[in-house]
Amino acid sequence: MSEQEQITRIRLKYAKGPSLRFTGHLDMQRLWERLLRRSGLPIRYSQGFNPRARLNLASALPLGVISESEMLDFWMDVPLPTETVRKHLAENAPPGLDIQEVTSVSRQEIALQEQMSASEYQITFYDPQPQSELEDKVAALLAADQLPRVRRNKTYDLRPLILDLKVTKADDGEIGLWMRLNAEPGATGRPDEVMEELGFTNTQYLACRTGLILKA
């Protein structure tokens, strides 16, 4: 086997808990680089004066959102059993980062970001919400033909980015919301935008990403 062929691509699934809620996308990149360095695994680094671990996050998580389901690819120079990799990473993870699954994927696969299709979010309210009122709001939103909004000085339509939206009721009776939003490169919906359309500010709820859906 040539050296080139030995390089292994590893895919991780992990959860991002409350203490990392305000660690943004770029900070997560740095956090991962340091975690990979601490792990002592044979990480593949870029060449040059400031070598950096090559890694690839599936999708940026909006600031303030926690997640049960994030994905990341990184590369190693030497293949190792996935359980060994998981152990090294878990032992060196900072508080709030939970490694759930380690798999090996083909080097030929396209970048994770390109594979993204949709994201799912669960919303929990800090204060109890009346179910019927919430249901009315959701119905009205879904009935709209268009939801024009402005993001970074550009107008776009939020409506087609909302693939699904419904009111949820937990076992303990707590009322929340569940949504599936488009997450293709260049057409990504964010939960805070949907919540704003429903009349909620980001001080009223906690959002959790519960699923990442890749293109088949």
Partner 1 sequence: MAAAIKELSNVPNSSQETLWRRVERILPTVTKPGRYVGGELNQVIKAWDSVRTHIALVFPDIYDLGQSNLGLMLLYDILNQREDIAAERAYSPWLDMESALRENDIPLYSLENKRALADFDILGISLPYETLYTNFLNILDLAHLPLRSANRDESHPLIIAGGQSVYNPEPVSPFVDAFVVGEGEEAIVDVVNTHQAWKTAGGSKQELLAALAKIPGVYVPSLYQMDFNADGTIAAVTPESPDLALPIVKRINAKLPPPLTRFLVPNVEVVQERVSVEIMRGCTRGCRFCHAGMVNRPIRERPLDEILTALKTGLDQTGYEEVSLLSLSSSDYSQIIPLINGLRELLQERQVNITLPSLRIESFTEDLMDELQSLTPGGGFTLAPEAGTERMRAIINKPISDEAFMDTVRSVFKHGWKTIKLYFMIGHPQETLEDVAAIAELCKAVLYEGRQIAGGRTRVHAGISTFIPKPHTPFQWVGFDSLESIQQKLDILHQGLHGAKVKMTWNDPEASLLESWLSRGDRRLSEVILKAWQNGARFDAWSDQFNMAHWRAAFTEVGLDPDFYSHRARGLDEILPWDHINAGVKKSFLKTDYQWSLQGKTRPDCRGGCYGCGILSAFNELRLVAPDGGWKCP
Exactly one of 18, 81, 160, 211 binds partner 1 (CB under 8 A); that residue is: 18
Exactly one of 56, 104, 113, 202 binds partner 1 (CB under 8 A); that residue is: 202
Rule CB under 8 A: is residue 95 a binding residue for partner 1? yes
Spatial separation of the C-alpha atoms in residues 110 and 119, rounded to whole Å: 19
Smallest separation, CB 82 to partner 1 (Å): 21
Smallest separation, CB 80 to partner 1 (Å): 18
CB contact at 8 A, 94 and 56: no
Smallest separation, CB 121 to partner 1 (Å): 11
Smallest separation, CB 189 to partner 1 (Å): 18
Which of 34, 151 has the CB closer to partner 1? 34
Residue 214: which H helix or E strand, with range? strand 205-214
Tokens 């959701």 appear where? 138
Contacts of 136 (CB under 8 A, 6+ apart): none
Rule CB under 8 A: is residue 145 a binding residue for partner 1? no
Tokens 């305000």 appear where? 22
Which of 14, 115 has the CB closer to partner 1? 14
Which ranges of the chain would DSSP assign to H, the alpha helix?
3-6, 25-39, 82-92, 112-115, 131-143, 191-197
Spatial separation of the C-alpha atoms in residues 15 and 68, rounded to whole Å: 4
Mark 25-54 with x for binding to partner 1 (rule: CB under 8 A) and - for no binding.
Answer: -xx--xx-xxxxxx-x----x---xxx---
Angle at 38 between CA 33 and CA 41, to 5 degrees: 85
The residues of the shown chain that bind partner 1, judged by CB under 8 A, are: 17-24, 26-27, 30-31, 33-38, 40, 45, 49-51, 63-64, 66, 92, 94-96, 122, 124, 126, 170, 172, 174, 176, 202-204, 206, 208
